[in-house]
């Protein structure tokens, strides 16, 4: 089936009525992409930044409402300080370069993670760009930075424990909906599709709570080689899956998840 979205983008074989609302990506393989070419790792990350730009553009063209990218994990702090510094510089450069494109395309930039651990200049850039794109209502692009799924769950638990200590929440009132509201970005729906590049079949501490019912797609391609066509292929594969959410028949994701969270999660 061929469909054309409101912006006139033609996407062969994609059912534009059944697109994932939220796509999350573990962008892996930058280092190996560079090594295979005898290049320094940072050039792999630079090529990875281009793949970020392409993927965001493709999602926006299709009308996908949320894209979340694992840009720097909590565990990445244990990389050599030189590589961390280069990644932070690249992030600043990317934000500066892309801000006008984000604004023009009404894309809102957001971030999740222990953001206070980022270098102050990066954090200032991030806050600036988040403010300047805050009116974007066509797509939300979220960067996971200094992010770990276990750390997010721990941070939510600490906040809830504090509320219990203050007598503002009763322990019996803690359910999935309340817990979800204390995650970093509760208003984002859960990802429908989680893509990982470079062939590794791991979750690597990404969105542990939110991916309960996400469809997983692993491609052997390194992230810098990931193209718009690769994205379309992942969506085609997603559209062939039966999403049952623990039931015996395929379920409407909106219905299936409405009992488990209050944040409008779509499965």
Cα 202 to Cα 28, 99, 112, distances in angstroms: 11, 32, 20
Q: Which of 49, 67, 156, 195 binds ligand FPP (CB under 6 A)?
A: 49
φ, ψ dihedrals at 135, nearest 5° = -85, -5
**Residue nearest ligand FPP, Cβ-based:** 31
Q: Which of 9, 40, 43, 76 binds ligand FPP (CB under 6 A)?
A: 76
Q: Does 184 bind ligand FPP (CB under 6 A)?
A: no
Stretch that binds ligand FPP, among 5-13, 87-95, 115-123, 162-170 (CB under 6 A): 87-95
Q: Give residue 255's Cα distance to chain centre.
A: 23
Active-site hit among 5, 7, 28, 155: 28
Strand partners, 24: 68, 194
Which of 45, 60 has the CB closer to ligand FPP? 45
Residue 28 a catalytic site member: yes
CB of 69 to ligand FPP, least distance (A): 6
Q: What is the DSSP string of 163-183?
A: HHHTTSS-GGG--HHHHHHTS
Residue 175 a catalytic site member: no
Which of 72, 238 has the CB closer to ligand FPP? 72
Q: Which of 11, 21, 29, 136 binds ligand FPP (CB under 6 A)?
A: 29
Alpha-carbon torsion (6, 7, 10, 13), positive or negative: negative
Q: Does 52 bind ligand FPP (CB under 6 A)?
A: yes
Which of 52, 193 has the CB closer to ligand FPP? 52
CB atoms within 10 A of CB 95: 20
Which of 143, 160 has the CB closer to ligand FPP? 143
Q: What is the DSSP string of 112-138?
A: ES-GGGS-HHHHHHHHHHHHHTTT--S
The contact set with ligand FPP (CB under 6 A) reads: 27-32, 45, 48-49, 52, 69, 71-72, 76, 90-91, 94, 143, 223
């Amino acid at each position: 089936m061929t469909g054309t979205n409101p912006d006139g983008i033609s996407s062969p074989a994609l059912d534009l009525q059944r697109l994932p609302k939220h796509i999350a990506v573990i962008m892996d393989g930058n280092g190996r992409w560079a090594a295979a070419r005898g290049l320094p790792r940072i050039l792999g990350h630079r090529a990875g930044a281009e793949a970020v730009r392409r993927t965001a553009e493709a999602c926006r063209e299709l009308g996908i409402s949320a894209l979340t990218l694992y840009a720097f994990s909590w565990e990445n702090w244990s990389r050599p300080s030189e590589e961390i510094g280069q990644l932070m510089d690249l992030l600043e450069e990317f934000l500066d370069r892309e801000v006008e494109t984000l604004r023009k395309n009404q894309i809102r930039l957001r971030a999740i993670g222990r953001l206070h651990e980022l270098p102050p200049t990066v954090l200032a850039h991030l806050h600036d760009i988040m403010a300047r794109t805050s009116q974007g209502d066509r797509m939300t692009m979220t960067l996971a930075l200094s992010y770990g799924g276990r750390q997010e769950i721990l941070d939510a638990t600490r906040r809830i424990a504090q509320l219990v200590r203050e007598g503002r929440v009763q322990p019996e009132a803690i359910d999935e909906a309340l817990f979800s509201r204390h995650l970093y970005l509760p208003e984002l729906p859960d990802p429908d599709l989680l893509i990982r590049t470079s062939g590794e079949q791991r979750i690597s501490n990404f969105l542990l709570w939110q991916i309960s019912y996400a469809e997983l797609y692993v491609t052997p391609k390194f992230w810098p080689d990931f193209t718009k066509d690769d994205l379309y292929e992942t969506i085609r594969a997603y559209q062939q899956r039966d999403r049952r959410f623990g039931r015996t028949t395929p379920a409407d994701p909106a219905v299936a998840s409405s009992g488990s969270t209050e944040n409008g999660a779509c499965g």
